[in-house]
């Protein structure tokens, strides 16, 4: 069963075709990876799915509904959340506060109610804090709960971003280069974390340049080059695809996998 279907997606910027007639589906409960050389259009696909960019054409179907035209907050409410290629944490807030911020779509704790601190908002706050600690524990950051985001090492910031995204209780989690800047040990931890996320019943779509990781974790891989899909399938099919190998010439695709 598919949780998300992208149909004939096109995105242009002036004369540049960032995404060209792209169609693919994401199977529920699996890990799908989106790979391709720099500038292939991968992040643009995430930006279209999450409502940050409005596609020039095509449809994005989720839960029987076309998401195109919906603003990002409505897409989060429907159960899609993401992390960013360039980490976007609240740097001056602590780790636990960052995770709490991810929950606001679920608590419905409006600004006025929080300001006047009604009984309900105090209860909500306690609830949010408890849940935030649980997500911090889930990603292995409990010991750093009161560190400002900016004080954390890079790899921990990436995991904190994942915790914040999980706090919105997504059905579908989009990870944009979650392993970037991580050393080998951190990458291994990340793989284990992604497996645990899938065990929670959350579907994952991941963009990454680390072929070793992508090949290990993915059930299905979609390959983009210049905004077009050039291949898709299980890791073993994609690894041996001639067009994929050609697209990666100069990027040492074989060595990386
Ligand atoms: N807001 C924008 N305005 C104009 N061009 C853009 C914009 N966003 C992306 N692009 C262009 O669209 C193309 C695809 O960009 P995208 O960021 O999706 O690539 P990517 O596959 O994620 O690459 P990378 O692996 O380097 O992150 C690039 O040529 C990029 O310069
Ligand atoms: Mg990108």
Ligand nearest to the CA of 209: 1
Is a pLDDT exceeding 90 seen at residue 112?
no
Ligand nearest to the CA of 17: 1
CA distances from 239 to 61, 175, 209, 212, 247 (A): 28, 21, 13, 11, 12
- Say if residue 165 is exposed, middle or buried (CB neighbours under 10 Å; 0-12, 13-18, 19+): buried
Give me the mean pLDDT over the 63-74 stretch: 95
The arrangement of strands across the sheet holding 16-27 comes to 16-27, 2-13, 57-62, 65-66
Q: How does residue 220 score in pLDDT terms, banded at 50, 70 and 90?
A: very high
- 186 vs 192: CA distance, rounded Å: 10
The predicted-structure confidence for 129-155, as pLDDT tens digits, reads as follows 999 999 999 999 999 999 999 999 999
CA of 178 to the centre of ligand 2 (A): 11
Is a pLDDT exceeding 70 seen at residue 12?
yes
Nearest CA to ligand 1 atom 27: 38
Domains of the chain: 1-79+170-257 (3.40.50.300), 90-169 (no CATH)
- Residues at CB less than 6 angstroms from ligand 1: 13, 16, 18, 36, 38-44, 85
Q: How does residue 94 score in pLDDT terms, banded at 50, 70 and 90?
A: very high
CA of 176 to the centre of ligand 2 (A): 7
Is a pLDDT exceeding 90 seen at residue 252?
no
More confident: 119 or 227: 227
Is a pLDDT exceeding 80 seen at residue 120?
no
Q: What is the value of pTM for the model shown?
A: 0.92
* Choice among 12-16, 224-228, 253-257 with the minimum mean pLDDT: 253-257
Q: How does residue 257 score in pLDDT terms, banded at 50, 70 and 90?
A: very low
The closest alpha carbon to 41, from 233, 176, 213, 211, belongs to 176
CA of 186 to the centre of ligand 1 (A): 27
């Amino acid at each position: 069963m598919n949780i998300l279907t992208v149909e004939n997606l096109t995105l242009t910027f002036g004369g540049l075709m960032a995404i060209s007639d792209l169609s693919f589906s994401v199977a529920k409960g699996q890990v799908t990876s989106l790979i391709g050389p720099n500038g292939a259009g991968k992040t643009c696909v995430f930006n279209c799915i999450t409502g940050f960019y409005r596609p020039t054409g095509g449809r994005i179907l989720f839960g029987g509904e076309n998401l195109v035209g919906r603003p990002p907050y409505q897409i989060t409410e429907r159960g899609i959340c993401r992390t960013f290629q360039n980490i976007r944490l609240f740097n001056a807030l602590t780790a636990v506060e960052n995770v709490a911020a991810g929950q606001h779509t679920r608590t419905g704790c409006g600004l006025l109610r929080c300001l006047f601190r009604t009984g309900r908002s105090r209860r909500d706050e306690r609830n949010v804090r408890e849940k935030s600690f649980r997500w911090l524990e889930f990603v292995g950051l409990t010991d750093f709960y009161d560190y400002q985001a900016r004080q954390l090492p890079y790899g921990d910031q990436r995991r904190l971003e994942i915790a914040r995204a999980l706090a919105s209780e997504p059905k579908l989690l989009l990870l944009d280069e979650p392993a970037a800047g991580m050393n080998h040990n951190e990458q291994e931890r990340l793989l284990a974390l992604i497996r645990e996320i899938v065990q929670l019943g959350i579907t994952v779509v991941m963009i990454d340049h680390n072929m070793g990781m992508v090949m290990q974790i993915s059930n299905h891989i979609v390959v983009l080059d210049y905004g077009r899909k050039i291949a898709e399938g299980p890791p073993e099919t994609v690894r041996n695809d001639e067009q994929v190998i050609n697209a990666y010439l100069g990027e040492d695709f074989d060595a990386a996998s």
